[in-house]
Amino acid sequence: MISRTDVEDLVLQVCGPVLLPGDEGFAEEVSGFNLAAVHRPDVVVGADDAGDVITAVEWAAAHHEPVGVQATGHGADQPMDGGMLITTRRMQELEIDVPRRRARIGAGVRWRKVVDAIAPHGLAVLNGSSTHAGAVGYTLGGGLPVLGRVFGFAADWVRGLDVVTPDGRLRSVDAVHEPELFGLLLGGKGNLGIVTSMTLELVPLQGLYGGGIFYPGEDAQEVLGAFSRWAPELPACATTSVSLRWMPHDPAVDERLNHQLLVHLRFCWVGDPGEGARVLEPMRELSHPLLDTVGPMDYRDIDRVHLDATQPGLYVLTGEFLQDFDAAAIAVLLQLAGPGSGSPLPEVGIRLMGGAFSRPSAVADAVSGRDSAFFLELIGWLAPHVAERTPPALAAVLQGLAPWSTGRAFVNMHGVPGDEEERSRAWSREVYERLVRAKAVYDPENLLRFQHVVGQRR
Ligand SMILES: Cc1cc2nc3c(=O)[nH]c(=O)nc-3n(C[C@H](O)[C@H](O)[C@H](O)COP(=O)(O)OP(=O)(O)OC[C@H]3O[C@@H](n4cnc5c(N)ncnc54)[C@H](O)[C@@H]3O)c2cc1C
């Protein structure tokens, strides 16, 4: 346990709050989007800037306290118990250089803020399905974007990182300066340091045609079958995914969709909208869509493609890269999670990979999935009434689709992996070994040992 006397010097040195359990504001400071993983650190430091992060890390190292970091809590899969939590939500720096197509983004910034700032200039970032998530945490996990088949992973567009390593040093790393550390931070997530800001190259966006089509659940076989034949033939301008989706009763959602299992096709086309409409036509001719929102789109409305939850909840997000998604895989999926299966899972999705996702990266990074054809994405609720049924249901789908798996998971969506072997599946063997070696160099005391940690010692 850490006492108030222990943190006296820390309180004087940092600008942000230093709170102990029971202090006013402590619960709010540690709270995040995933209510299933509420952190219980012995102390939380609300960092105002990189200086606060350095001071907090130095203090933690001197006191042999393990350190965790949280921006939004979207990726809080495993609650931390004890140690120091550094929250970055106050680190809201955002500098946009339109002529150079660059953005410098503070550790606490959510994608929404970046999207709103750059969209008027015809520029985009490689945000994921929800702009509510934190830009830095998402990108360090590789970042599987809504426009990924056109532009690749979010990590591919990082041009520099400012990172505080466990020795308390603030380093500016990029493809030239400490390239091994830079590469391993991209896809290695929070294993080697706490990133205080990142510099991204922004992508020009000319013409966006996107949205979603909702089909009745009883047509799942027809829609998934058509998707599995149509999607792999798409040009790289199209990014798409499909999910079996239980729509809860939600006044914010169109009432035609409420309270039923549906099939949700998501589609984004970058380029001429007429061409996008032509490409989508075969999927429009299927079944009897309940709602079709695909059309010319303002990039600021990008969250309408996936329609992710925006309210905090108790959930687990996991998945697996697939090498194929064929008729036999569909049969297994429908048996385990389709209409009438009794599955408690609110969402079972298949994202199309390929296109720019398969492009080799410019630096030797730690992003996995470039060799895959699809990504299986699973969401489970952990609310008390389903909490017991969810883990076996997730395991059954993962096991059922194992014959189609590449054997690799994605660190941003790897749920609560157990032992080292399971955790290491988020990377190739070669990348994992590089991460373990780098961890021994940059974090020999294993200070950063919460969440998805590499190596044997947790
Ligand atoms: C609704 C929803 C939609 C999502 N959609 C996608 C998607 O489309 N594509 C995708 O790739 N992922 C997606 N994710 C997963 C998301 O990318 C991860 O949860 C990511 O970790 C979120 O980052 P965060 O900073 O918001 O989360 P936090 O919970 O605040 O952080 C999670 C972890 O990120 C690391 N981290 C955060 N900040 C730092 C930092 N400054 N320095 C070092 N490490 C840090 C730490 O390991 C931390 O434990 C989604 C998640 C949700 C809940």
pLDDT tens per residue across span 373-410: 999 999 999 999 999 999 999 999 999 999 999 999 99
Taking each helix axis from N to C terminus, what angle separates 220-230 and 273-284, rounded to the nearest 10 degrees?
140
- What the block records as the tokens of 173 is 């790393």
8-87 against 94-204+427-442: fold identical = no
pLDDT for 425: 96
CA–CA distance from 249 to each of 252, 340, 400 (Å)?
9, 19, 30
Q: What is the largest CA-CA distance in the chain?
A: 69
Ligand 1 atom closest to residue 129's alpha carbon, by position in its atom list: 8
pLDDT in tens, 92-112: 999 999 999 999 999 999 999
Q: Would the pLDDT of 249 be above 80?
A: no
Q: What is the mean pLDDT of residues 52-68?
A: 97
Q: How confident is the model at residue 77 (pLDDT cuts 50, 70, 90)?
A: confident
- List the domain boundaries for the chain: 8-87, 94-204+427-442, 208-404
Determine the Cα–Cα distance for residues 411 and 425; give it in Å rounded to an integer: 9
Which amino acid is located at 305 in the chain? V
Q: What is the mean pLDDT of residues 312-323?
A: 96
Determine the Cα–Cα distance for residues 215 and 376; give it in Å rounded to an integer: 20
Phi, psi (degrees; rounded to nearest 5) at 321: -80, 140
Of all protein residues, the one whose alpha carbon is nearest to atom 8 of ligand 1 is 128
> Could you report how far apart the first and last alpha carbons of the chain are, in Å?
19
| CATH topology (fold) of 208-404 | Vanillyl-alcohol Oxidase; Chain A, domain 3 (3.40.462)
Q: How confident is the model at residue 258 (pLDDT cuts 50, 70, 90)?
A: confident
Which amino acid is located at 138 in the chain? Y
CA–CA distance from 52 to each of 87, 121, 176 (Å)?
10, 33, 27
Question: Which of these ranges, 50-59, 408-417, 446-455, has the smallest mean pLDDT?
Answer: 446-455
Q: Does the domain made of 8-87 have the CATH classification 3.40.605.10?
A: no
Contact residues of ligand 1, CB 6 A cut-off:
32-33, 69-76, 88, 107, 128-130, 133-134, 136-138, 140-141, 143-144, 189-190, 194-195, 308-309, 317, 412-413, 451
Identify the CA nearest to 197 among candidates 100, 266, 105.
Answer: 105
Task: Find the 93 Cα to ligand 1 centroid distance in Å.
Answer: 18
Ligand 1 atom closest to residue 309's alpha carbon, by position in its atom list: 1
pLDDT for 457: 61
Identify the CA nearest to 186 among candidates 434, 10, 441, 449.
Answer: 434
The C-alpha R_g of the chain, in whole angstroms, comes to 22
- What the block records as the tokens of 30 is 């540690």
The b-or-e profile of 113-134 (16+ CB within 10 A means b, else e) is: bbbebbbeeebbbbbbbbbbbb
Give CATH for domain 94-204+427-442: 3.30.465.10
Determine the Cα–Cα distance for residues 296 and 210; give it in Å rounded to an integer: 6
Task: Find the 284 Cα to ligand 1 centroid distance in Å.
Answer: 33
Task: Find the 177 Cα to ligand 1 centroid distance in Å.
Answer: 25
Of all protein residues, the one whose alpha carbon is nearest to atom 34 of ligand 1 is 137
Beta strands in 76-135 (DSSP E): 84-87, 94-97, 102-106, 123-124
Of all protein residues, the one whose alpha carbon is nearest to atom 28 of ligand 1 is 73
Phi, psi (degrees; rounded to nearest 5) at 26: -60, -50
What is the Cα 107 distance to its own chain's centre?
15
pLDDT in tens, 219-244: 999 999 999 999 999 999 999 999 99
Of all protein residues, the one whose alpha carbon is nearest to atom 38 of ligand 1 is 137
- Report DSSP state, residue 145: -
CA–CA distance from 417 to each of 54, 114, 183, 205, 370 (Å)?
29, 31, 23, 37, 21
